[in-house]
Amino acid sequence: MSEVLITLIVELEDRPGQLLKVLQPISALGGNIVGIIHQRGKKTPLNRLPVEISFKIDSSKVENLIEELKSLGIIIRSFNEVKLTATTSVLLIGHLIHTDISDTISSIDTDGEAECVEMHVSMPEISGPSTAIITISASGKEKLKEALEKLREVCRRKEITIIEPVNEELI
């Protein structure tokens, strides 16, 4: 069994219940949703709404899932599959929100081979430093190393303390 990260952009009609139609088959096949982004500003001429859904799923289930979605009449605009074989967590401490955490995190993913798959931010007070643990998955150890190097660079620039794991199977 090997896990893959799927990034799917579907076009949904802008009315209740449409998103659920996509999510149910993913969930039924054991997929784990990582993120959903509604691209409200990017409506299609036919008034459809592009929605980007990222999820982790066993690679053997992907084909079934796509069939299933198509049979439900869902329009798949794009589909990207990344084999995630290397994963690590790193801790960030600093003014994460003021320094645009979403920019910090997207810095690791420049070629679609690495992705932040999980994040937990703890912000005890608005003015103080916040702390986040992020989990990064990549298509291989080399890609994970590259992603971490990019993250280090951004953190240096933004004066964020980055705490990396000590266990060597990861890096």
Contact residues: other proteins, CB under 8 A: 89-91, 93-94, 120-122, 124, 129-133, 135, 161, 163-168
User: Least distance in Å: CB of 28 to other proteins?
Assistant: 27
**63 or 159: CB nearest other proteins:** 159
**51 or 132: CB nearest other proteins:** 132
User: Least distance in Å: CB of 120 to other proteins?
Assistant: 5
**66 or 119: CB nearest other proteins:** 119
User: Least distance in Å: CB of 2 to other proteins?
Assistant: 21
**33 or 163: CB nearest other proteins:** 163
Angle subtended by helix axes 62-71 and 18-28, to nearest 10: 150
Q: Which residue has the tokens 């003014």?
A: 95
User: Least distance in Å: CB of 47 to other proteins?
Assistant: 41
**22 or 34: CB nearest other proteins:** 34
User: Least distance in Å: CB of 136 to other proteins?
Assistant: 12
Q: Which residues contact 118 (CB under 8 A, 6 or more apart)?
A: 34, 134, 135
Helix/strand/coil for 145 = helix
Helix/strand/coil for 92 = strand
Q: What is the arrangement of strands in the sheet containing 48-58, beginning at the earlier edge strand?
A: 32-38, 48-58, 3-13, 75-83
Task: Burial-class residue 17 by CB neighbours within 10 Å (0-12, 13-18, 19+).
Answer: exposed
